[in-house]
Amino acid sequence: MKTKNSLLLALLLSFIACQTIKKDLNDTVLYQQSIQSAIYPEASKVYDKLVPVVKQNQNLVWKNIKGEDYILVVTWKQNITYYKQYLDSAFYNTGKYPIWITTAPELKQRMQHEKTKDVNRRLIQLLGLPPNSGYSYFVEFWVKPSDLFRPCPDKEVTDTRCKTCFPKQVDSEHISWMNENRISRYYQCDLNNQYPWTQLGYTYDWNPKNKSHVGLSEFVIGANKNIIVNAIYTTEEYLGSK
């Protein structure tokens, strides 16, 4: 009887291990496909319902700080050392490192609506991150709309869609930024250092159930911008809060 139970346990553990390996392999294939798809932004992939950052958009969270309008944005991080020390400070300067964000409360509402069991995996898919990503904290910032840009050829944040080509009036600095990011996000040797950047203003959701692969509206806080660290939450705290 003891031998039979040991055999059943071994078979069960083997089955679980096989399922885990299969899941990891599937995620690798799906992620590889997402890179191949995102690298070519075509007109058919343009999404015309991006979040517009305008005062009339009351879906955003606004706050007037010292006479200027700010909106609440959020990013998913692992290392929060830089931000914790600025929680009680007036401003945090982004320095030379732009921060990729989504506007609150889009991500939280999307996740609460989906009610997924594997929260971390779903967040990784939705935000277009590598399968092996490990993030534990959401950091909220107050940022001026003028300090944001869309990571697409036309960088303005007040409209609801991105163009696939650079407009005539685009500045050379933005062109350089786009081209540098194309290299850094698509052409790394390790798949887990690559990203399915759409260049169309939304994250690439590599969940196979999302046939359009349109994720969330994404923005970038530019370099050397003064922002306010509003709060830091664990993933569970952020998604569970109202």
- One DSSP character per residue, 165-186 reads S--TT--HHHHHHHHHHHHHHH
64, pLDDT greater than 50: yes
pLDDT at 3: 56
**CA-atom Rg of the chain in angstroms:** 20
Confidence of residue 9 (pLDDT cuts 50, 70, 90): very low
If you search the block for the tokens 């409360």, which residue do you land on?
105
Q: How do residues 153-198 score in pLDDT, each as one tens digit?
A: 999 999 999 999 999 999 999 999 999 999 999 999 999 999 999 9
Q: How far apart are CA 102 and CA 20, in angstroms?
A: 31
Give the whole-number percent of the chain exceeding pLDDT 70. 89
Q: How far apart are CA 20 and CA 14, in angstroms?
A: 10
Biggest alpha carbon distance in the chain? 79
Q: Please count the other Cβ atoms lying within 10 Å of the Cβ belonging to residue 200.
A: 25
132, pLDDT greater than 50: yes
Q: How do residues 191-228 score in pLDDT, each as one tens digit?
A: 999 999 999 999 999 999 999 999 999 999 999 999 99
Q: How far apart are CA 55 and CA 58, in angstroms?
A: 7
Q: How far apart are CA 150 and CA 223, in angstroms?
A: 13
The DSSP code for 191 is G
11, pLDDT greater than 50: no
3-state secondary structure of 236: helix
Q: How far apart are CA 126 and CA 235, in angstroms?
A: 14
Q: How far apart are CA 140 and CA 74, in angstroms?
A: 4
- Average pLDDT for residues 137-150, to the nearest whole number? 98
Inter-CA distances, 226 with 55, 73, 128, Å: 20, 14, 27
- Average pLDDT for residues 32-44, to the nearest whole number? 96
Confidence of residue 88 (pLDDT cuts 50, 70, 90): confident
Q: How far apart are CA 194 and CA 11, in angstroms?
A: 36
131, pLDDT greater than 90: yes
pTM value is 0.88
Query: Please, are residues 173 and 163 in contact by the beta-carbon 8 Å criterion?
Result: no
Give the whole-number percent of the chain exceeding pLDDT 90. 86
Sequence-separated (6 or more) residues with CB below 8 Å from residue 53: 60, 71, 103, 145, 148, 157, 158, 219
Of the listed ranges 78-82, 220-224, 227-231, the one predicted with least confidence = 78-82
Confidence of residue 12 (pLDDT cuts 50, 70, 90): very low
If you search the block for the tokens 């300090």, which residue do you land on?
147
Q: How far apart are CA 96 and CA 74, in angstroms?
A: 19
How long, in residues, is the chain?
A: 242
Confidence of residue 89 (pLDDT cuts 50, 70, 90): confident
Of the listed ranges 7-11, 89-93, 167-171, the one predicted with least confidence = 7-11
- The helix (H) or strand (E) run that includes residue 17 is helix 2-38
- Average pLDDT for residues 118-125, to the nearest whole number? 97
pLDDT at 24: 55
pLDDT at 120: 97
